[in-house]
Structure formats: C-alpha cells, structure tokens
A and B are shown apart, each in its own frame.
Chain A
Amino acid sequence: MKLFADEAWRTTWLYFKESKGGLWGLSFLGIVLFCVVFADLIAPFDPSLQNRSALLLPPIWTEAGHWPYILGTDAVGRDLLSRLIYGARYSMFIGFVVVSLAVIIGTLLGLLAGYYSGWLDTLIMRLMDVILAFPSLLLALGLVAVLGPGLLNAMYAIALVMLPHFVRLTRANVLSEKNRDYVIASRIVGASNRRLMFNTILPNCMAPLIVQATLSFSNAILDAAALGFLGMGAQPPLPEWGAMLAEAREFISRAWWVVTFPGLAILLTVLSINLVGDALRDALDPRMRRS
C-alpha cells in the first residue's frame, strides 16, 4: 500500500512552503544533514585528534584564538568544529532511531488498544502504566545497566521510556474518532478492521502525533546525553553533542565555548525539527489549507 501518491506529496509541499518557520527549520536541518553525510569531507580535523599545544583554545574571533581552530578546542585539545560536525551524525541518529521506534511501536499499540477495547486495551495500558510509574531516566538507566552500557542500548532504553506517551496519545485519539459517523459509514460499506484502523482512523489521529514526535526528538537527544554523562550512553571519545556538553561541564566558568557550541547545536536542531513538525502538521491537514 502506498502511503502517499506523488500528487499528495506535491500538494503537501505546496502548503508546507507557506510556513516561513517551517522553511527556516528545513534549511537548518538541511545543513545538519549535509554535515551528517559529508562529515569526512568538510571537517578540518579528526574528531578525536588531540593537540597538546592547543588546550582550551577560544574561538578564532577572540583575541587568544587562532587558525585553524575556528570554534576553538576542548580540554584535551580536540577541534570543537570537527567534533560538532561529526556529532551531528550521532545526535541525528539517536533522534531518528529513538523517535521512529517509539512512534511506530507506540502508535501500533495505541491503535490496537483504542480500537479493540477490552482485555487487550487493559493489558496494553496497564503495561504502559508500569513504565510510566518509574522516573523515566531511572528506568532508562536500569535498562542500560541490564543491557550493558553503549549508545545503541541507551537508544533502546530511551525509546521504551517514551513509548507510553505515544500509546496514550494514540489511544485517546482513536477512542474519540472510532465512534464518529464517518468510521461507521466506512464500516457499513464493508471496510475491514485493518482498513478502518490504518486507513480511516489513523490519518485523523496524526496531527498530535507529529507534534509529539518532534518534541520527543529533542528529549531523545537530551536523554541520550544524560545517559552519556552518567557513563551509560555514548562512550568517550564519541563526539556526541550531549556527551560533549557533559564533558565540558567543569570548564563552564573559564571556557564558555566548550558548552555554548554543543548546546547551541542541540538547541537549533531541536528548534528546527519543531518548526518543521508544526509546518508539516498544518500541511498534512486538509482543514488548515486555504480552499
């Protein structure tokens, strides 16, 4: 089954263009994706190459800064710009994988729970309540401790922690949509349960899911950073943005650039994704379109 025909993509783009914020976000994401793909070509240094003679060098536009360390260096003399460019890979990877896992599994479970109420609903929702009952970071920490530290395991753990939000959101929407007349009308003309769930009900529940997914993207990056900081996520010397932030924490008072640039990178990426998510939600909703 094709999710969108070419025609639908074109219309979506037509309406996406209307949103300025969405375009800005998309451009910045384009830059980040460019870094992700061509990191080897554009980064001036190897991200883990240390230079003992250039420790904590400030950015090039300050008095003490000098070429070729454009954004300065960190505490062990690694080029900050190179690390940021390579870090884009990890952060985007974490964001995409975690959010995709949580969205796909969460939507599916929520759809099943909402559509087939009864014991399946009870089972799924009580399981989600169990996950929600733990403080999210603590649960992720525990899971990683069981699975073994590492970026991939941290990602699975974060996806699991995020799952209940998607399940509940989807279920609530499905519950309110499934008894609407248009669903019954589809049923009368013979739509199967699967068609009703995925073709009739799900598209009408997508708007809040898209927004939640974009918001979760930032959370995923931050949670991964937190796990990295606790030694359970990305292991040094991986130049993951959150981990860079955590490593630089002790130098925050004498070297502002080591925390500012990774923080800025996270902020801008997250902001762009949110803007794109907003614009996408509007573009995908026929009701928001001008007739």
Chain B
Amino acid sequence: MAEVLRAVNLQQVYAARQGLFQKSLSVHALNGVSFSLNAGETLAVVGESGCGKSTLARALTLIETPSAGELWLAGELVDTQKKPEAALRQRIQMVFQNPYGSLNPRKTIQQMLEEPLLLNTQLSREQRRQAVSTMMERVGLRPEFAERYPHMFSGGQRQRIAIARALMLKPQVVVLDEPVSALDLSVRAQILNLLTELQQDLGLAYVFISHDLSVVQRIADAVMVMYFGRAVEYADAKTIFSHPQHPYTQALFSATPVAEVGEKRERIHLQGEPPSPLHPPPGCPFGPRCAYVQAICRQQLPHLRTLNQAWVACVRAEAINASSLPNTSAKSLLHSHAPP
C-alpha cells in the first residue's frame, strides 16, 4: 500500500534553564525517531511515561515544530518551520487522551465539529450542518445531539465526538494519543472497534500512542518501542510480540498482565528509573537498568540495526537472544521472553 507518512530522524530539543546565571541545558525529548506508515495501517508507539511518546505526537501534528528531521506526508516534504497550511492540516489530525479536556465546554457539538470545515473549506452553513450530522452518525452518535454541550455526554461518547472532529477534514493520518486509556474497559472495546471500523472504511493510517500492550497487540500492524526519546525496537506487530529482542522490550512485555488463572510467568523486574534527560548516561541509555549490560554498552550509543526481521538498538541483541531462545520457541506470545 501507499506510504502516507514518513518521519526521518525527528528530533525535539528543549532548553532547560538551570538558574539565572547558569548555562541552560538542552533536553532531547525526541532523539532521532524515524518510521514509515502506509495507508490503512497502524503504527503503535509504546513506552513508559516520559519516553517521548507525546512529544512525538506533538511533532507529527506540528503543534510544536520539531527541532530537526524531516516529515513526509503522502510523498511531500513538509516544511516544519512554516505554519502548516490548510492542505497539510487536512491530512493529519489528532485525538487526545482525555475526552474531558479536549472538548471546549462552551461550545455545542455542532460548533465544535464544524470548526474544521469553517476554517478550511468554503462549505455553506447548511452543508456544514449536513456534514456534521453525517459524521455523528458515522461515529455512532445520534445527530439530534448536535446542539448539546460536552458536559452532557459520557466519557465514551465524548471520545466519539473527539474522533468525529479529527475526521471532519477527511485526513489520511490520525495520531491517537492514548485514545482509550481514560475510558473504562467495556467502553474501551467499543471505541477500539469504532477505530478499526473507521480505518477499514476510510483507509486511515493511525499512529497509535499507548502504554497498554494488550490494546496495542489488538490494533497494531507495526510497533515502535521508545525509551528515552529513541526507538529501541521497531518491527511489525507479529514479530515483536512473538519475539521481542531488545531487553527493554522484553521487560516491558513481561509486565503486561495475562488473564489466565494459575499462569505463572517470570517477570523481569527493572531496577531504577529512566536516566535524567538533563544528564544522559554515556553509551546506551538503557544500560544502567539492563540485566545484560557489559562494558561495551557504556562506550557506544547503539543504533537501530536489522536483526531477525526487526530493527533493534542493542549491541548485544544476538547474545541475549541466544541465551533466551530456548524459552521463547513454543510458548504463547506474551510470556515468552523470560531470561533463563
């Protein structure tokens, strides 16, 4: 399928002021992230809090202009330093995590959903009303609700409204920033179904940011695991879930609860905290917490390289794989990666 979004070495650097007379330090919130996304596919971005997932979302939607790197939308290079123009905005839209904060409490659903059309198209008032009511039906809301205010809706309905707003301009790419993590379990399933349905019907490409691996496993075609502003592993979903290769990915996956009574599995407990972005450690940023760390890890920064159909940023991946392979072969996906 056609590629709709490609990021090349995206970087986002913030200046952190230390004090009045001290030199300000730079924080690399996003440190060279690259990926490519085809129409109708979902790229899941996973990682713990503070790993740069949301910064990536903000860079992709150009809420914040990335400090460096290239962004290609449907084969066109986006000028990230310029204010995005209408044509570009129509192609990439976003759904936020918290449906209670992402809807303007002072506007009716109608006003909110027609805002994108009002600002970017020449549709008449009647046409806009028509478009809004079609879209509301599309996301499973009754069009009569258009004149209501957000506070009259439940969390799940609000998230449907937020999805509807993102789709009003018929985008090609939708960035979903933890779209279901604020919802309870039953509603979560409904929203995920809606997203899958919309994707199939409209050929949307999703960048799905999440920390919930069970959700990711269900929806993702490709997975990018981020740590400390970098991708540490990037592969298609099947490969990464059946055979995670980076020690961080393994630890992350082992932390996902499995709904099986009596199921005992070995959990990899990570020591310590992610390093301070103000003072990054030498070499591999995961080194200080890694069970397999050796002298070489502190000397060089690992870059993504291909290994067994995946991209892995670990210099010792082969050695680690070799030592854990006997365990991984037969068992089911999620609990296959305990070290011996």
Contacts and interface: CB of A to CB of B under 8 A. Distances in A.
Interface of A: 180-182, 184-191, 195, 200, 203-204, 286-287, 289, 291
B169 interface: yes
Contacts of B1: none
B195 to A, nearest CB: 17
B142 interface: no
A189 B98 contact: no
Contacts of B280: none
Contacts, number: 61
A147 to B, nearest CB: 39
Interface stretch (B2-10, B86-94, B231-239): B86-94
B259 interface: no
B119 A190 contact: yes
B169 to A, nearest CB: 7
Given A204-B105, A204-B106, A291-B152, A188 B61 contact: yes
Interface in B92-136: 93-94, 96-98, 101-106, 115-116, 119-120
Given A182-B103, A286-B106, 4 more contacts: A185-B94, A189-B120, A190-B116, A291-B152
A189 B89 contact: yes
B117 to A, nearest CB: 9
B63 A186 contact: no
Given A190-B89, A286-B149, A286-B151, A204 B63 contact: no
Contacts of A289: 149
Contacts of A203: 106
B106 A190 contact: no
Contacts of A181: 96-98, 101-102
B246 interface: no
B151 A287 contact: yes
B101 A182 contact: yes
A204 B86 contact: no
A195 B169 CA distance: 19
Contacts of B168: 189
20 contacts: A181-B98, A181-B101, A182-B101, A188-B61, A188-B63, A189-B115, A189-B119, A189-B120, A189-B168, A190-B86, A190-B89, A190-B116, A190-B119, A191-B115, A203-B106, A204-B104, A204-B105, A286-B105, A286-B151, A287-B105
